[in-house]
Amino acid sequence: MKPSKRVIASALVLCLAIGANAQWTVVNLHPAGASTSEASGISGGQQAGWTNTIGARRAAVWSSTAASYVDLHPPGIGGISEAYGVDGGQQVGFALDNTRHAYLWTGTAGSAIRLDPPGSLVQATALAVNGGQQVGYATVAGSGWHASLWSGTAASWVDLHPVGMGGQSFAYGIGDGQQAGFVFTDDVLHFACLWTGTAASWVNLHPTGAVESGAYAVSGGQQVGYAKVGIRNRASLWSGSAASWVNLHPTGGGNSVAWGVSGGLQVGNVEVNGQAHASLWSGTASSWVDLHAVLPSTFSVSVARSIYSDGVNIYVAGTGIESGRQVALLWTGPVPDSNFALALNKSSVAGQNSVLGTIMRAQVRPTNTVFTLTDDSSLVTTAPNVTVLAGQLSRNFQISVTAITSTVVTTIYAQRAGITRSQTLTLMPLIPTAIAFTPNQVTGGNDTSCRVVINGVAGPGGRDIAIFDNSPFSTTPSTVTVPAGATDVTFPITTLPVTSIKYVTVTARVSAGEKTGTFRINP
């Protein structure tokens, strides 16, 4: 039984804010004259897949444009062919002419090399390539499908099927000396697994509680695929062991699967309203980005098959269905800058004042990096985005606060390519926070000065403050105003002659708070 590379559809109702999609672009790789096409692998500026140009599928390779399409179909093969993986100028796949043959190409149809292992009744398929090695599956003399590893020739074939285990096995991914795939013993129950070049190195990745699982790609010590938990296939991430399993499935999703991994990023698809949507993760379910959202509305379905990064941009190969026709696609977007921080120079601020925010990156990047800024209150204003310039580690931005009448806690967000950082900010009304008298003892009949300080800078029009006192021996104004741009106001208090010491309490009051102070009148 050959396992399907297609995703089983199911319903999904999912409401999720999609971040940074405006920074993504999509190239339609579908070549002129083709009826259908798909891109399955990507690396180093090349994409591998297939096209249907003469009524049958033919292995293909692109160099990031539709016009760069090259037909890889091996000469003399009358059936179909497909390419699945690409790396270092090599492409792998299969061609079918009565029997299935694994093939390795180096950019042209004439370069085709058959990788079928030695033996009789051989069939084989190569699914991925990395560092001059290829993986897939093969059967020899009716043995059933066995996960397979090659190093560029048929004679180099290594049988990865776990020793002593029945059933069949498949290797779908290869990277950094590891091979990922799955085994099953009854053609139904799949177990995700990992190898390091030999059958004896087999590691079971099947997570506890899962019904079945499979691994489809490996890179940088990470493996991706799916695990069926309950009734759902869930996009999955491992780091070399079953216990390391991470559920990438976003909340509310239907079925999901991760097909590719590179540089700590994962791609695949999630069912949204019953339709597969190409998807990107950065290691957690909450990091999910819907890549389908950047496609024209004419696309109903999309799948992200493979991912590659040059350190500045991410390149994702996949496919979509546009107006009923399947076409190969290439997404390009910025590398998520997950190592960035958001800082505020104040944790609280009074109305009509501002806060300085800072975006800080962990390392200098060679290009400008745009971060999206948002907040969850109409009482604050930020720019829609801030750009950290090439060669710089940080950039400041200003958060302005309007006049408010009560304390409010809001949150400021900085986002890039689906990664979000946040800081809470407490907004307070402008209120009196200090009151002082100069002098604080005065002989009756003389004046003293009263200074009222507020907790911020008064905005346009100033800040009015009501003044009260509790003594018939002093006279205060009923209202004073802190001028615009100032943080305090000073006003005189007149006193009357007294025959004994009198203590006068003065209150500076606004609707949101007040402050009191006391001075003494001497005889």
Over the stretch 47-62, which tens digit does the pLDDT of each residue have? Answer: 999 999 878 999 999 9
Over the stretch 237-292, which tens digit does the pLDDT of each residue have? Answer: 999 999 999 999 998 879 999 999 998 899 999 999 999 999 999 889 988 999 99
The pLDDT of residue 311 is above 50: yes
The pLDDT of residue 220 is above 60: yes
| pTM tops 0.75, yes or no | no
pLDDT for 329 equals 98
Can you tell me the distance from the alpha carbon of 165 to that of 97, in angstroms, rounded to the nearest whole number? 31
Can you tell me the distance from the alpha carbon of 33 to that of 523, in angstroms, rounded to the nearest whole number? 106
The sheet with strand 289-290 has its strands ordered as: 256-262, 265-272, 275-281, 289-290
Nearest to 216 by CA among 175, 187, 244, 254: 175
What are the beta bridge partners of residue 60? 49, 71
Instruction: Say if residues 263 and 313 touch (Cβ distance below 8 Å).
Output: no
